[in-house]
Amino acid sequence: MLAAIIALSILAALFGLLLGYAAIRFKVKSDPMVDKIDALLPQTQCGQCTYPGCRPYAQAIANGEADINQCPPGGETTIIALADLLGRDPKPLNAENGVEENVKTVAVIDEKICIGCTLCIQACPVDAILGAAKQMHTVIASECTGCDLCLPPCPVDCIEMVPVSTDLNNWKSSFPEEAEETDHKQEKTA
């Protein structure tokens, strides 16, 4: 009995050492530039940049295969941040990829009209739609990125993109220049 315990302990230690060595030796190294580029992207995974998600787009930018102006959800802010990071000149958003939306939107499903076809679930890149076949579907608003990819496959047009309501959880202060402009507009109307 004691011999079996000792044998198993030695075997476990050997396998542990072997796995530890393999983890170090065969570690998949990620490019730090790709990580920095990916951190600047909005993580909507919408595919409007012609890549299946933000990480592949970041990889393409780092490899010089894609330009920095292909992300409509990120818009001008992301383009400027990418240009600063990569030491390039900012460019206007490529119109072929879409237009920048000033208002963040979220999908809302009219559950009375929904037929439960699951086509929107399959199209959602971030799994923000909940439902089952032949059952009503709903959107997890906090997970929805507003990418509009669920709209085209819906056969009954029961999905609508609505602006996200501003509350204490998602409110952001405007930049000082914007606040000054707002003050001047309010003074003119008063």
Predicted local distance difference test score (pLDDT) of residue 60:
94
Q: How many CB atoms lie within 10 A of CB 147?
A: 23
Q: Is the dihedral of CA 101, 104, 110, 116 positive or negative?
A: positive
Position 5 pLDDT exceeds 70 = yes
Q: Is residue 84 in some structural domain?
A: yes
CATH number at residue 70: 1.10.15.40
Check: CB of residue 137 under 8 Å from CB of residue 130: yes
Residue matched to tokens 């990889």: 59
Q: How far apart are CA 103 and CA 101, in angstroms?
A: 6
Same domain, 36 and 93: yes
Same domain, 74 and 110: no
Q: Is residue 11 in some structural domain?
A: no
Share of the chain above pLDDT 70, in %: 87
Give me the domain span that covers residue 77: 32-97
Q: How far apart are CA 75 and CA 57, in angstroms?
A: 15
Q: Is residue 22 in some structural domain?
A: no
Q: Do the strands 105-109 and 159-163 form a parallel or antiparallel pair, or are they unpaired?
A: antiparallel
Q: How confident is the model at residue 151 (pLDDT cuts 50, 70, 90)?
A: very high
pTM over 0.75: no
Q: Is residue 133 in some structural domain?
A: yes
Same domain, 82 and 107: no
- 179: its two tokens: 């606040």
Same domain, 81 and 133: no
Same domain, 48 and 85: yes
Q: Is residue 139 in some structural domain?
A: yes
How many domains in the chain?
Answer: 2
Predicted local distance difference test score (pLDDT) of residue 28:
77
Arithmetic mean of pLDDT, 158-184: 68
CATH number at residue 153: 3.30.70.20
Q: How confident is the model at residue 171 (pLDDT cuts 50, 70, 90)?
A: low
Q: How many CB atoms lie within 10 A of CB 88?
A: 14
Same domain, 127 and 88: no
Predicted local distance difference test score (pLDDT) of residue 169:
67
